[in-house]
Amino acid sequence: MPKQIKDPVHGYIEVPAEILPLVDSPALQRLHHIRQLGFAYLVYPGANHTRFEHSLGAMHLASLLCRRLDFDKVQTRTICCAALLHDIGHGPYSHASERLMQEYTQFSHDDIREQLNQPALAAQLEKNAVSPDEVAALISGSHRYAGIIHGDLDVDRMDYLLRDAHYTGAPYGNFDAERLTKSLAIVADTLVLNESGISAAESLLIARTLMGPSVYYHHACRIAEEMFLLACRRHFGDNTDAVREFLTLDDVTATALLLNSPEPITRDLMIRIRTRNLYKRAVYAGRELVDRDHLPHTASGIERMHTAIAETAGVSPDKIILDIPPLRKEMKMDVKVRNHHDLVPFEEIVPMIAMMNATRQGQWRLGVYAPADLREKVGDAAREVLALRRATKQHKLTGII
């Protein structure tokens, strides 16, 4: 018998009986203890939802879409399994540890083929005649139907935008997911959008653009994440094997490990996060104030600039965080729109993507963070070392600094 699970976003989610053992597997149950939005709970107290419920939501939307696309039972089961398992590769605090994963292992959370060999997962996939290679390909983006799980209009993105908006209370992530799923079709093994779904797709793009600065890149979330990463780097040093083990933990066990670190800096940073005694913005500058040609583009270059700011300010380097994020990737919609009998590139019909990409680039911020009592001293030193342009009244009015 299928199991009905009550979900605050989608209502009742039906889990087929044959997939239920996957839901109960250790790999999925671990996601109960990993926050979907990392440190966003420090800004939005309701943002305590987890990767587990998001995985159920993605599976639910995948099931609805497979039914709409008239897939057979094997295809549907494979895609639903991929949607359910797509986040088992996440480390503690979700995307906060993603950069740690890339720095130490050169992998991403989408690389889960090895994890699918876990006995509980492998046995259930085999029992359901589901290929682990197909599941991994759907999640990594190399499968012919990968657009359902890993694409521009995928069920992963649909669920997390709706779910993150619900739990943070931010009104920007809402769009008509039901309309969107009903407007998708398969043409020559490619996911396409029927013309009737253009408005819903536009709403999803707008949601992605607005949720960025409001939730995903909120400065307090960014500061906590940078403090967490600094704590991890000081604790692990160059011990890649220890990092690999750390990435298999959940939020609670990872936090306990770092709070008991032999490194005083690591302990102090984690206590600050736990008590919300975060570093403050000494400098927070948009592209208009930054000479990007003056900025370093390598880890060693950033480290040298970080050291220069600390020396100029006369403070310990561990009291300063220099945050030079990459520019946000341009949104592209590699989806064709079925307009009568023609397939037309989405961007030809919806020119607003260029405007939204300009908005996303304008959301970029360089940050220098320090404890509150060092904020002014570090800010003066950072502006000198970074050769920041002087802010005009217009820059101040628009919140660029």
Cα 120 to Cα 22, 73, 125, 151, distances in angstroms = 8, 22, 9, 28
Q: DSSP readout, 176-211?
A: -HHHHHHTEEEETTEEEEEGGGHHHHHHHHHHHHHH
Q: Which of 218, 236, 251 is the last residue of a domain?
A: 218
Residue 362's pLDDT is what?
85
Whether 169 and 302 map to the same domain: the answer is no
Q: In angstroms, what CA-CA distances link 199 with 69, 88, 89, 179, 195?
A: 20, 32, 33, 9, 9
Is residue 234 domain-shared with residue 168, that is, in the same domain?
A: no
End-to-end CA distance of the chain: 57
SS3 13: strand
Alpha helices in 24-88 (DSSP H): 26-29, 51-68, 73-85
d(CA 173, CA 165): 5
Within 8 A by CB and 6+ apart from 149, the residues are 58, 62, 79, 82, 83, 86, 138, 139, 155, 156
Q: Which of 160, 191, 218 is the last residue of a domain?
A: 218
347 within some domain: no
For residues 251 and 160, state if they share a domain. no
109 lies in a domain?
yes
| Eight-state DSSP code of residue 333 | -
Shared domain check, 233 and 214: no
Residue among 185, 111, 118, 178 at smallest CA distance from 148 = 185
Contacts 24+ apart (CB under 8 A), 267-273: 269/227, 269/228, 269/230, 269/231, 269/234, 270/228, 270/231, 272/227, 273/39, 273/42, 273/224, 273/227, 273/228, 273/231
Per residue in 353-392, is it b (16+ CB within 10 Å) or e — as a string?
beebbebbeebbbbbbbbbeebbebbbebbbebbebeebe
Asked, for residue 170, whether it belongs to a domain, the answer is: yes
Contacts 24+ apart (CB under 8 A), 238-244: 240/104, 240/105, 243/100, 243/101, 243/104, 243/105, 244/104, 244/105
Number of domains in the chain: 2
CATH number at residue 196: 1.10.3210.10
The span from the CA of 294 to the CA of 272, in Å, is: 32
Q: What is the pTM for the complete model shown? A: 0.92
182/234 same-domain check: no
Residue 352 belongs to some domain of the structure:
no
CA angle 70, 74, 78 (to 5 degrees): 100
Token couple for 79 = 């895609």
pLDDT tens track, the chain, 401 positions: 889 999 999 999 999 999 999 999 999 999 999 999 999 999 999 999 999 999 999 999 999 999 999 999 999 999 999 999 999 999 999 999 999 999 999 888 889 999 999 888 999 999 999 999 999 999 998 999 999 998 889 999 999 999 999 999 998 889 999 999 999 999 988 899 999 999 999 999 999 999 999 999 999 999 999 999 999 999 999 999 999 999 999 999 999 999 999 999 999 999 999 999 999 999 999 988 988 778 888 889 999 999 999 999 999 999 999 999 887 778 778 889 998 778 998 888 888 888 888 888 888 999 999 999 999 999 999 999 998 987 654 444 444 43
Angle (CA) 209-210-214 rounded to 5° is: 130
Whether residue 132 is found in the same domain as residue 266:
no
Query: Of the candidates 166, 189, 218, which is a domain's last residue?
Result: 218
**Largest separation between any pair of C-alpha atoms in the chain:** 68
* Residue range of the domain that includes 384: 225-328+362-397
- Strand pairing partners for 343? 338
Residue 213 shares a structural domain with residue 259? no
Q: Which of 222, 246, 255 is nearest to 364 (CA)?
A: 222
